[in-house]
């Protein structure tokens, strides 16, 4: 039997009002000078005032950089790193979705070492040591970046997103407070929530799946399946928001112990070249890739069906597999996720480029439970153009 490991954040607080624990975290980490990294949407939603005030009340000097763009590219991360370098910090706080948290995680490492971001992205260097201590506070329930050893950066010249993966990127502390995601607009609730569901389903099916990811993935799937429609319809439903944050966090932990697979691999060129938001591209691809993966993996699909609350009594494993795929299509329809790629003007003429981009993501494709050839990848994109 091969070995496996579970890597997780040092300390996690969860529940409505858990933002108050930021004072305890600052004290635990011995913080005196904190940098909050966030973005304009989060700042406009009024989510930075409270954590900043709580830190200041605990005697911590706070600087805020709220200029993280959505799905940042290498130049944009370098610009944030340059402004962060003006002072020294002993705590980096990422507040936002995957974009802000990924930047906070990589900036924390880069501030503490002289490795170049571009060398990390080109695989010419690795992260040798942990960076400035980090606290991640997700305000979307999607990427699970608060629990993963990954930072994703767009490399515009290659038209591809690149994942920097290192155990040194795992955050020190996390706060999962549903009050901070209550104002997340429905469309972002839908797409980021589908990203989280994709993490859980993919990590469960992945060749890197193991007893840790099985436990976490099935629970994540159940939490998200029961609450995503409620969170979408009524954002102020804190129980639904809590389920979504936990589901996304468990999904992130799954990534830390297992791996995503072909959905994420095929989504990479859609983000890199066409700038389709990460959650949207995953959501669109999910039912199609799962229909492909179903063949030969029916036992696992039956487990997923049960976690999704699908009644499998009297159904064959093949019928349970079909039921999961149908349920994923229905979820996308209910959440108003686009049904295909046409609105981005992607046509059959783009297939070759898309296949080239996806085929490069062997880090994830190799973990897909069913081998996927270039022709298989093309056939999946073909259904979406
Ligand atoms: N590190 C990982 O493990 C990992 C995994 C998957 C994806 N990613 C990366 O994460 C990024 C996507 O992150 P995301 O999907 O969370 O989206 P995001 O961080 O880009 O946020 C989407 C939008 O939502 C807004 N927003 C966030 N919280 C809000 C709130 N509470 N109220 C109102 N508006 C709010 C933001 O301002 C932004 O405009 C991509 O770059 C993707 O590649 C990282
Ligand atoms: Fe993802």
d(CA 245, CA 140): 8
**For residue 1, what pLDDT is reported?**
53
**For residue 296, what pLDDT is reported?**
95
CATH topology of domain 11-180: Rossmann fold (3.40.50)
- Counting from 1 in the atom list of ligand 1, the atom nearest the Cα of 185 is 33
Over the stretch 340-351, which tens digit does the pLDDT of each residue have? 999 999 999 999
For 271, the token pair is: 């983000």
Helix axes 278-294, 317-334, angle to 10 degrees: 160
**For residue 88, what pLDDT is reported?**
96
**For residue 216, what pLDDT is reported?**
98
**For residue 240, what pLDDT is reported?**
98
Evaluate whether 192 touches 231 at the Cβ level (below 8 Å): no
The mean per-residue pLDDT over the stretch 272-288 comes to: 96
**For residue 160, what pLDDT is reported?**
82
pLDDT at 37 over 60: yes
**For residue 357, what pLDDT is reported?**
93
Measured in Å, residue 180 CA sits from the centre of ligand 1 at 13
The mean per-residue pLDDT over the stretch 183-209 comes to: 98
Over the stretch 358-377, which tens digit does the pLDDT of each residue have? 999 999 999 999 999 999 99
Give Dmax (Cα) for the chain: 65
Measured in Å, residue 237 CA sits from the centre of ligand 2 at 24
SS3 92: strand
For ligand 1, is residue 293 a contact (CB within 6 Å)?
A: no
For ligand 1, is residue 99 a contact (CB within 6 Å)?
A: yes
**For residue 159, what pLDDT is reported?**
83
Over the stretch 125-141, which tens digit does the pLDDT of each residue have? 999 999 999 999 999 99
Shared fold status for 11-180 and 186-382: no
Q: Would you mind telling me the total number of residues written for the chain in this entry?
A: 385
The mean per-residue pLDDT over the stretch 54-73 comes to: 97
Domain boundary assignment for the chain: 11-180, 186-382
**For residue 2, what pLDDT is reported?**
84
* CATH code of the domain occupying 186-382: 1.20.1090.10
Q: What is the pTM of this model?
A: 0.97
For ligand 1, is residue 146 a contact (CB within 6 Å)?
A: no
- Side-chain half-sphere exposure of 258, counting CA atoms within 13 A: 30
Measured in Å, residue 45 CA sits from the centre of ligand 2 at 23
pLDDT at 74 over 90: yes
Over the stretch 139-185, which tens digit does the pLDDT of each residue have? 999 999 999 999 999 999 988 888 999 999 999 999 999 999 999 99
The residue whose CA has the least distance to atom 2 of ligand 1 is 145
Measured in Å, residue 85 CA sits from the centre of ligand 1 at 24
């Amino acid at each position: 039997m091969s070995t496996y490991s579970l890597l997780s954040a040092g300390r996690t607080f969860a529940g409505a009002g858990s933002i108050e624990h930021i004072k305890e975290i600052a004290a635990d980490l011995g913080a005196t000078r904190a940098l909050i990294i966030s973005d304009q949407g989060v700042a406009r939603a009024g989510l930075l005032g409270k954590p900043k005030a709580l830190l200041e009340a605990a005697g911590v000097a706070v600087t805020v950089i709220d200029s993280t763009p959505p799905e940042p590219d290498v130049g944009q991360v370098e610009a944030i790193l340059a402004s962060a370098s003006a002072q020294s910090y002993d705590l980096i706080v990422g507040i936002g979705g995957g974009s802000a948290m990924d930047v906070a995680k990589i900036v924390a490492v880069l501030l503490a070492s002289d490795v170049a971001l571009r060398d990390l992205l080109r695989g010419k260097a690795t992260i040798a040591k942990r960076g400035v201590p980090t606290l991640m506070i997700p305000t979307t329930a999607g990427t699970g970046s608060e629990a993963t050893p990954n930072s994703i950066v767009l490399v515009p010249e290659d038209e591809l997103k690149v994942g920097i993966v290192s155990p040194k990127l795992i955050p020190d502390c996390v706060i999962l407070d549903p009050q901070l995601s209550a104002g997340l607009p429905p469309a972002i609730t839908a797409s980021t929530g589908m990203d989280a569901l994709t993490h859980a389903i993919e990590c469960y099916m992945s060749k890197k799946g193991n007893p840790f990811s099985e436990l976490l993935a099935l629970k994540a799937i159940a939490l998200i399946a029961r609450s995503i429609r409620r969170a979408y319809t009524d954002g102020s439903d804190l129980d639904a928001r809590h389920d979504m944050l936990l589901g996304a966090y468990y999904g992130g932990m799954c990534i830390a112990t297992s791996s995503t697979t072909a959905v994420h691999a095929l989504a990479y060129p859609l983000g890199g070249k066409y700038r389709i938001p990460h959650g949207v591209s995953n959501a669109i691809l999910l039912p199609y890739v799962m229909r492909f993966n179903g063949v030969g993996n029916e036992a696992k699909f039956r487990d997923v069906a049960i976690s999704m609350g699908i009644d499998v009594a009297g159904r064959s494993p093949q019928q349970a597999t079909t039921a999961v795929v149908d349920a994923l299509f229905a979820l996308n329809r209910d959440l108003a996720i686009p049904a295909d790629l046409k609105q981005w003007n992607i046509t059959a003429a783009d297939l070759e480029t898309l296949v080239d981009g996806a085929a490069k993501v062997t880090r994830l494709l190799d973990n897909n439970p069913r081998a996927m050839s270039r022709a298989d990848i093309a056939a999946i994109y073909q259904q979406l153009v």
